[in-house]
Amino acid sequence: SAVISQKPSRDICQRGTSLTIQCQVDSQVTMMFWYRQQPGQSLTLIATANQGSEATYESGFVIDKFPISRPNLTFSTLTVSNMSPEDSSIYLCSVEDTTTEAFFGQGTRLTVV
């Protein structure tokens, strides 16, 4: 299993600003993902964070809005840029191990005012 540390756990931000969320894993993992979970909704995949190359974004998500870094096999960041109230959500980092099970960080609860 993998232990994931995600921070901050929550934040309240002004619209127009940016927030960077960090995800640290206790072991090297190939696959790291970033999800968004809006109130009462399912987890929606934002992008796959690729080590050494640009992230792979899902439909509806773009790099300018959600830039992602993956400098090594244990760490990734997601930035929510130029925030608006519609970006208020829980953001989750996830990794998968060789058994295909997904592990999640504690999540970042973001409120944009």
Partner 1 sequence: GQNIDQPTEMTATEGAIVQINCTYQTSGFNGLFWYQQHAGEAPTFLSYNVLDGLEEKGRFSSFLSRSKGYSYLLLKELQMKDSASYLCAARGDSTLTFGKGTMLLVSP
Binding residues vs partner 1 (CB under 8 A):
33, 40-45, 48, 58, 92, 99-107, 109
d(CA 19, CA 11): 9
* Cβ proximity to partner 1, 84 vs 111, nearer residue: 111
Q: Shortest gap between Cβ of 101 and partner 1 (angstroms)?
A: 5
Give me the least distance between CB of 22 and partner 1, in Å please: 15
Please classify residue 95 by burial: count the beta carbons closer than 10 Å to its beta carbon, then call 0-12 exposed, 13-18 middle and 19+ buried.
buried
**Cβ proximity to partner 1, 18 vs 56, nearer residue:** 56
Question: Toward partner 1, which CB reaches closer, 17 or 111?
Answer: 111
Q: What is the DSSP string of 36-57?
A: EE-TT--EEEEEEE-TTS--EE
Distance in Å, CB of 47 to partner 1, minimum: 10
Q: Which two tokens stand for residue 22?
A: 């960090």
Provide the token pair at 96.
């998968």
